[in-house]
Amino acid sequence: AMAHGAGRCRCCGAEAEERGAAWGLHLRIDRQRLQCLNERTEGSGALVFRAWEQRGDRAQFVESDDDEELLFNIPFTGSVKLKGVLVMGEDDGTHPAEMRLFRNIPHMSFDDTAKEAEQTFSLNKDPLGELEYPTKIARFSNVHHLSMHFPKNFGAETTKIFYIGLKGEWTEAHRHEVTICSYEASANPADHRLPHSSPQTPFIS
């Protein structure tokens, strides 16, 4: 198997490496705060964001629970210019049929999906991870938080996704955001003292 792998790399290694690097935004996701709503197995939504070369690993997937809807809240560790999305599922009714993208609305719920999306895509079944959906880059040039809503599939009771690829560029958070973060961090001890001070100050809500 090793020899086969090496041989394959020699003929198209550079191209594959370049393609993999383009789809590297999974490395820029703040996984501690990543959410997938309506996932059947807790934490499985995070598994679909992985290296482009690993997109064919069908042991890792997310499946919806109560109905066919899935909603991902994806915070990044900086600012992202999102250029394309790839969604890989089964070649059957569980494959998502529509994808709606929202930018910079943290902690979206299913109620929030009534808002108009920044961009909506009709999806084709893509069991091999070959179809790239280009975004309107002007709308996705300064994304700190991306929400992806999959409202329906091709007729099954639940939706299954094996891989989501995010293509684009990442830049570090600006300095003023860093100050906000450190301010929040230094405010934490005060939060812990609140319970003790609440009896004397009943007006603190």
Domains of the chain: 16-172 (2.60.120.470)
Angle value at C-alpha 168, between 167 and 174, nearest 5 degrees: 140
How does DSSP classify residue 64? B
Residue 12: band (very low, low, confident or very high) from pLDDT cuts 50, 70, 90: low
Token pair of 132 as six digits: 């790239």
pLDDT in tens, 97-114: 999 999 999 999 999 999
Distance CA 49, CA 31 (A): 10
Identify the DSSP state of 175. H
| pLDDT > 90? residue 75 | yes
Express as a percent the part of the chain with pLDDT over 70.
Answer: 78
CB 48, CB 34: distance < 8 Å: no
Written as one letter, the residue type at 168 is G
Instruction: Name 21's Cβ contacts closer than 8 Å, sequence gap at least 6.
Output: none
How open is the CA angle 164-168-173, to the nearest 5 degrees? 110
Q: Which amino acid is at 100?
A: R
